[in-house]
Amino acid sequence: MKKILGVMLIAMLSITSVMASDTAKIEAKYQSALKEFKKSKRAGSFFDKSYGYAIFPTIGKGGFGLGGAHGDGRVYVKGKYIADTSLSQFTIGFQVGGQVFSEILFFQDEHSFESFKRGNFELGAQASAVAIKAGVSADANYENGIAIFTVAKGGLMYEASVGGQTFDYESLEEK
């Protein structure tokens, strides 16, 4: 009986250690993406003037005729992590390849944030994201209460397609 309890205790400690390690890796991924956007001349100023933001450290996108993208993210209001979110996208049109990128959406005010939070929020094909490149400075503005920035992480994709991004929202209080 003591051996069984000992084995169970070791197993529980091992699982806890692995979970803590995974949590640290996930946190590092978010902190790295936040650092990248904060150091950008384009996106950096939005951290101080926006109501909040949703950040997606890694979005995978691919297509061959039909395409899609998906990424998991976090929502912050006034610098505080308050919710998890996910992004999904379906596209149709000429497209070949795959790419990985980070994305951040800044909410101009409480109204645009509440729209996102209710799940009534979808970025249509006409929404424009500002791609951040090292050493480049340009003005970016809110469109319909949202400012979007992306940073390419890798891959190659050719596309002339139409599709929009949809988002799911899950408050940390609901978990």
CA distance 84 to 75: 6
The tally of domains found in the chain comes to: 1
User: Residue 135: inside a domain, yes or no?
Assistant: yes
Q: Which residues of the chain have pLDDT under 70?
A: 1-21, 120-139, 158-163, 175
What pLDDT is stored for residue 8 in this prediction? 37
What pLDDT is stored for residue 159 in this prediction? 64
User: Residue 21: inside a domain, yes or no?
Assistant: no
Q: Tell me, letter by letter, the H, E, C secondary structure of the chain.
A: CHHHHHHHHHHHHHHHHHHHHHHHHHHHHHHHHHHHHHCCCCCCCHHHHCCEEEEEEEEEEEEEEEEEEEEEEEEEECCEEEEEEEEEEEEEEEEEEEEEEEEEEEECCHHHHHHHHCCCCEECCCCCCEECCCCCCCCCCCECCEEEEEEEEEEEEEEEEEEEEEEEEEEHHHC
User: Residue 139: inside a domain, yes or no?
Assistant: yes
What pLDDT is stored for residue 21 in this prediction? 53
**Are residues 102 and 148 in contact, defined by beta-carbon separation less than 8 angstroms?**
no
Q: Report long-range pairs for 170-175 (Cβ below 8 Å, ≥24 apart).
A: 170/83, 170/84, 170/85, 171/82, 171/83, 171/117, 172/81, 172/82, 172/83, 172/84, 175/84
User: Residue 17: inside a domain, yes or no?
Assistant: no
The range of the structural domain enclosing residue 118 comes to 34-174
User: Residue 8: inside a domain, yes or no?
Assistant: no
- Hey, which residues does 152 pair with through a beta bridge? 101
What pLDDT is stored for residue 162 in this prediction? 61
User: Residue 15: inside a domain, yes or no?
Assistant: no
User: Residue 56: inside a domain, yes or no?
Assistant: yes
User: Residue 119: inside a domain, yes or no?
Assistant: yes
